[in-house]
Amino acid sequence: MKQDHKAPPRPDPESGTAGDDSISEEKSLGEKLQKVLAGAGFGSRRMMEEWIAKGQVSVNGETATLGMRVFEGDLVKAERRTMRVGEREHAARVLLYHKPEGEIVSRNDPGKRSSVFDKLPKLRGQKWIAVGRLDFNTSGLLIFTTSGELANRLMHPRFEVEREYAVRVQGKMTEAQMDMVLRKGVELEDGQVKFEKLEDQGGEGFNHWYRVMLKEGRNRVVRRTFDALGLPVSRLMRIRFGIINLPPRLKRGMTAELGEGEVGQVLEWVGIDSGKAELPQRKLPALRQSDRSPTKKPVRDSARATGRVRRAVPADAKKSKSGVKH
């Protein structure tokens, strides 16, 4: 007769014995529920806290509460999905998408506009988390992952992950303006902003191109900065996020999933132990060699491609056999 898989007794750190020395203090205290859910790809920690507060999460059949900790063997249910704490988790996945203009980075839109999530591969038991956002009229590199912890490391302001953009503006910056955005900064309604890098890329006629780099992701910060200088942005494209570049052969509306080796590099770079040290460290043109810390400036180097590129097509359509190559 098949026995039910029941969660083991929840340990009590106050009643430990000499035989409990092999159990680490961290394990004996459990892990925060929202951290476990985020790490399993259910969503960001903030989103998980909202789910818990609304009573949408249960642990071993009981409604979870904020601040609750879970232990190995606990059965967690959230949004019609179930996971058992401590079981082998799904490997983190990272997907690159070349977002065209005219799409929103949201699953719900009252205006029924086209969403980037409509173009992504379907998942079972996991969920794509967008690493930051791009405006409706902004194109370029958009990163998705199934790891809430990785998404948090890439987005949180304290990690100061670099974002690089190609910007076309109406007009041309003066030397004084270029010096101001690099040294003094430009005052916006939500605080001051400074560019870490600014390169004049030239232009023709009334339009002029610049390449800018900054370490924050405030809403429409690049557009608002140029608007404050009297230079309206006519085109904006993100070309790099951290150590990940927009692959040159990744056309608009196409996706490219990183292989296990590349994902391991990204995890290592943000300081997450991937547990995949034995995997070959081959690189995509999308990945840049860099120091391990995301707060240090990457080096402009890349190697041979190993990831697959495909067009964003319905699941029943044929997959593209083309690949990203250096």
Burial of residue 129, with CB atoms counted within 10 A of its CB: 0-12 exposed, 13-18 middle, 19 or more buried: buried
Which of 61, 39, 63, 43 shows the shortest CA–CA distance to 53? 63
Helix (H, G, I), strand (E, B) or coil at 249: coil
- Please give the DSSP secondary-structure letter assigned to residue 50: H
Helix or strand (DSSP H, E) at 244: strand 244-245
Write the DSSP string, 124-193.
Answer: SS---EEES---TT-EEEEEEES-HHHHHHHH-GGG---EEEEEEEES---HHHHHIIIII-EEETTEEE
User: Which residues are known to be catalytic?
Assistant: 135
Buried residues in 201-215 as b, exposed as e (16+ CB within 10 A) = eeeeeeebebbbbbe
Task: Report the C-alpha gap between 240 and 294 in whole angstroms.
Answer: 13
